Structure 1
Amino acid sequence: MTLKGKTAIVTGSNSGIGLGVARELARAGADIVLNSFTDRDEDHALAERISAEFGVGARYIKADLSRGDEARALVETAGRCDILMNNAGIQHVAPIESFPAGKWDAIIAIMLSSAFHTMAVAVPMMREAGWGRIINLASAHGLRASPYKSAYVAAKHGVVGLTKVAALETAEDPITANTICPGYVMTPLVEDQIPDTMEQYGMDRETAIREVILARQPSKEFATVEQIGGVATFLCSDAAAQITGTSISVDGGWTAR
């Protein structure tokens, strides 16, 4: 398949899953808009490298997705949005009674409200273009809960519901809206957590991964950012034209329990 001529906006995409998705969409021929809240030379250089490697257009647009006006401006500044991948996210872990209100507000804003704001601008663009794909990154925590992750779980459950609404509202248009729900994915952030986990539990690397980090993931293997990007690319294909309003789990069997 080819996505040549399509423009994909991927939020939170200067590292991790977002960057992996952006690279796979670029591999399929899409022009790419990268995003994060920073505005460093290396952010723009990353876009230049993607452009050179895959022969597509690529640029970086700064936007603080905790602000609704900046989330909307991201799509407006891009000028075109055939594929919208809402990926940006943060995390904080604490019991409900001691969960900082500011952290709650930030997580909901960045992971749920920003998806609403970007979609509100992108859907009219997609209708005008006569084609569109909305892919929102949820999580196994969009389908299951864990203690001490109230804001994250609430945001991801909200993303699943919001995506279903978008799917119904665009059902008669050539637009689809779906969520991808990963379990644990190997990213630089996760890699950085492994040594601390080994030290905390007095385990070697393999045991710490299998018994602690991947305790809920029956496959005992991380998903890769390339696999998440491959699922996103599939959802942009003609084969997926009738897949809308659903959640695709990439979690090694986590939600099968």
Structure 2
Amino acid sequence: MLTLAKAALERATGRRPLEGRSAIVTGSTSGIGLGIAEALARAGAAVMLNGFGDPMQIEETRTALADANDVDVAYDGADMSDAAAIRRLAERASARFGQVDIVVNNAGIQHVAPIAEFPPAKWDAILAIDLSSAFHLIQATFEPMRQRGFGRIVNIASAHGLIASPFKSAYVAAKHGLVGLTKVVALEGAESGITCNAICPGYVWTPLVEKQIDDQAKSHGIGRDEVIRDVFLKNQPTRRFASVEEMGALTVFLCGEEASSITGTALPVDGGWTAH
């Protein structure tokens, strides 16, 4: 109800900074990606959702997002490990909205294992979805952005794009690569009105994280509070999870006119984790 009221107020007062823009947000049927899609829609952007999940639930989400914000919201289930499917996603979004102004590369998967035991297939899948998918979608949308003289690309990296942790070789490699890709795209788009930035979250409160807390508590025989304090938030000095709303608000800012000179950055949203 609060979201509906806020969206109505923003429409009534004309304070919608992304009115008339259109966006693709990968991995946006839940968690951080959905939070970003919601924020972009509230700011007035048309949004192409992407991701996996129950078809009926995805359609309910799509409809609710469109109705609450009076914007066009579509869905495409493109497989982010398939380069051809990613190109088709860009084509369908452009055909639906007329153009793609904003790309948010959020799709990602994770696997944790020692390097000596890390399954090669998992390595390949993580690199494909967490890194290569961003390249393919940027490549498919960059030239039209350049020709129009405007584009906003936001890559959802991680604190692990800046630092490392044991047992996460593929994820850390992919996120470091995503930060590097961000810098290259920023340089190539700098004179064409295109910005490219990476957001580097620490732990963000999502349904997936909540499930992991419960699983860890059961497997270690300790309470939820201990898991949160001693496992998840051990390295975050604020001792609190970031929220999907924070990720959405930062993305909206980076996609607006006020952020035109912010490009090539990797912005930690990690409660001070990478300040150590």
Q: In the alignment, which residue of structure 1 is the partner of 2:12?
A: none
Q: In the alignment, which residue of structure 2 is the partner of 1:17?
A: 32
Change (3 A) 1:37 1:198: closer
Q: Which of 25, 28, 36 is the aligned partner of 2:43?
A: 28
What displacement does 1:131 show? 1.1
Answering whether residue 117 of structure 2 is matched by residue 98 of structure 1, we say yes
Q: Which of 63, 70, 88 is the aligned partner of 2:85?
A: 70
Report how many aligned residue pairs link the two structures: 257
Answering whether residue 157 of structure 2 is matched by residue 138 of structure 1, we say yes
Task: Report the more deviating stretch, 154-163 or 235-244.
Answer: 235-244
**What do residues 133-192 of structure 1 show as CA deviations (whole Å, max 9, x unaligned)?**
000000000000011100000000000000100000001011100000000000010011
**What do residues 183-229 of structure 1 show as CA deviations (whole Å, max 9, x unaligned)?**
00000100111122223344332232111111111111000001000
Q: Which of 169, 180, 189 is the aligned partner of 1:170?
A: 189
Q: In the alignment, which residue of structure 2 is the partner of 1:231?
A: 250
Percent of pairs identical after alignment? 56
Q: What letter corresponds to residue 181 of structure 2 in structure 1?
A: L
> Does the CA contact (< 8 Å) of 1:37 and 1:65 recur in 2?
no
Q: What letter corresponds to residue 47 of structure 2 in structure 1?
A: I
Q: Which of 243, 250, 254 is the aligned partner of 2:262?
A: 243
Q: What letter corresponds to residue 60 of structure 2 in structure 1?
A: A
Gaps of at least 5 residues in structure 1 are: none
Q: What letter corresponds to residue 122 of structure 2 in structure 1?
A: K
Task: Report the more deviating stretch, 220-229 or 202-211.
Answer: 202-211
Task: Report the more deviating stretch, 166-175 or 73-82.
Answer: 73-82
Query: For 1:12, what is the secondary structure of its paired residue?
Result: coil
> Does the CA contact (< 8 Å) of 2:23 and 2:102 recur in 1?
yes
Instruction: Provide the rounded CA distance (Å) in 2 between the counterparts of 1:203 and 1:175.
Output: 48
Q: What letter corresponds to residue 260 of structure 2 in structure 1?
A: A
Alignment of 1:94-243 (within 5 A): 94-243=113-262
TM-score for the superposition, normalised by structure 2: 0.90
Q: Which of 10, 16, 21 is the aligned partner of 1:6?
A: 21
Q: What letter corresponds to residue 171 of structure 1 in structure 2?
A: A
Q: In the alignment, which residue of structure 2 is the partner of 1:256?
A: 275
> Does the CA contact (< 8 Å) of 1:39 and 1:62 recur in 2?
no
TM-score for the superposition, normalised by structure 1: 0.97
Gaps of at least 5 residues in structure 2 are: 1-15
Q: What letter corresponds to residue 76 of structure 1 in structure 2?
A: E
